[in-house]
Structure 1
């Protein structure tokens, strides 16, 4: 399965310094594990966490899960050492924080020049500057390793001095524009974290909102969020039944060459056929990964 084809319903952040949490992650049904060197690690523990992240990736045991390491920003005192260590690791991707512009992507691309060609560059969209440069940042995917974005709604709320409510009202335009920009340039895009991990009904509602916007999946802060997240971002039985009906209808001899047909009493066009095929493909990839 190529990176572009892999399911990314659930991406779980873990402090790279927490060996117990990393061991547990190897048993969880999340699609992505993110070993964090940034927000989850105190300054005095950065070097130790960096070594632990590289060692955990080298040890393996993550199965089908993609493993990314989130570095500290390139302009911080830890950034250069983080990137140098990640370049020599077996991580699938490096996740970089607080990207403001396409120039930032170019700087990270240069810093990763010695990394294996398979190593991806993922970026956090979490600053006020970035939301005004979404399209040019996404366009860097054509000339760099950039392949995925993760929304950083907590940091964005801090910069904006906005309230991060369950409805996420202040951020809805940015979420929509981020998905559109990512899709325009073939960049995968994950929704930001939900800080509520005790009330899974609240979490599931936010995940469904992310699905409504078109996100590929969601980033998570607690193992309890993995199962409900996978449920939300997996095609349901009703959706798959609709998809199969549409695909079968367009294969009928009387519908060959038609751009629009009637399916179950509704006008159905070729764009719906494309949507149906994508749903079935996503379900097949999830089954293959599981």
Structure 2
């Protein structure tokens, strides 16, 4: 089938309307600061996708991912009820998304095709899935594509390198030179601010539940910006790399992965309201405590997605 295009020119950013023809055993955890947290941490280990329940201090494995080449490519719905899982063939030309419930049961599977990259992300109401796409027909152009749960492409924005959903189902997007925020119907986007003041282009965006702040990675450290484009500041610093920031459901904490050993991305947590840059010593727990399991550190291959 022939691919059809329609374009709407925006400031710097282009919108494309269509790009596809189809238009275990529980274990105990040690929680920093006690076990009063209401958070559940969904994360990808080396052999399984897991849920660490900080309320009860237990962990369970729900999806076997030992054979997956991209163990970090998952997303969890904001209410923690569903998980979208990326899987690719050995030739990388057949990409499938599988949607699971929080017990690991399959809800739905659909094939996207090829040229998919990045992490698929569920919209807050779970009706749509977005991901970065670079189809051969328009190469080297790159898009954030939005699909329905039955595999139909709904929208696409050109030139987007990373993105995140707001609670009202708009897309916050990063291009090579600016932050953009889409309209509610995903038909247009406006620039929030340029990227001046950052060491590298932002990636790994995560938006607070109240839609007021955005945590992201730039230059291997965590930064933050207000949703109106103000308040740009660095949050963490170290001689290593801090990756995959994720807001807690009450916006008081940011979970992240500290990469300093080369073989383990440690799961750590910091307060989200620290007034100064948090300098992290990887050999100690303060001021970014490890979250431990049976006295051992947790090694996460993915963003530690915190859900209620």
TM-score, normalization by structure 1: 0.29
- Higher relative contact order, chain-length normalized (CA < 8 Å, sep 6+): 1
**Looking at CA atoms only, which structure, 1 or 2, has the larger radius of gyration?**
1
Choose between structure 1 and 2: higher helix proportion. Answer: 1
